Amino acid sequence: MYFIIGDDDTVYAGGVFKLELEVPERYPFHPPKVRFLTKIYHPNIDSAGRICLDILKLPPSGGWRPAHNLSSILTSIRLLMASPNPNDPLMTDIAEEYQFKKSQYEATAKEWTAKYAKSVEDTSKPGCEEPKTSEKRTNESDEENAENSKKAKK
């Protein structure tokens, strides 16, 4: 799991956005699959967290090259957050709002950031603590069971 902190000069300022990054077996010849786990109001990111970004697609339709690395991908996503591309949207209604009612777009994006992307300071407040020991054990048991299932299938 990866995190992107919204840049101060954007509508996502102070938000902490969780991302899932899946590196394929054929990496770096194939791009990783990246999606937001945190809800975000953005024309190039859909409700399932999928990201419309050129470097996440293989040529000829995309711009992925083996020279790209995970750091450059995360940087590109931060740049996309700061400067949406309304000409290639996943969410056409948000893209139209960004183009024609920008103040409304900015207000909604800030609202969603405050609601869904807990800030760094908020993670130390009550309700954001680590799972209880019993919950940790359950999660660890689930992970162990998944590993054992994989081994059994081989």
Q: What is the pLDDT of residues 70-103, one digit of tens each?
A: 999 999 999 999 999 999 999 999 999 999 999 9
Instruction: Indicate the number of domains in the chain.
Output: 1
Stronger pLDDT, 132 or 62, i.e. the higher one: 62
Predicted TM-score (pTM) above 0.85? no
Catalytic residue among 52, 91, 109, 117: 52
| CA neighbor of 98 nearest in space, from 10, 13, 18, 38 | 10
Is residue 80, in this structure, part of any structural domain at all?
yes
Query: Does residue 148 fall inside a structural domain?
Result: no
Does any domain span residue 14? yes
Radius of gyration of the chain (CA): 18
Residue 121 banded pLDDT, cuts 50, 70, 90 = low
Active site residue 128: no
In a domain, 132, yes or no: no
Q: How many CB atoms lie within 10 A of CB 117?
A: 22
10 assigned to some structural domain: yes
Whether residue 125 is contained in a domain is answered as no
Q: What is the pLDDT of residue 45?
A: 98
DSSP letters of 116-144?
Answer: HS-BTGGGGSTT-PPPPHHHHHHHHHHHH
pLDDT of residue 108: 98
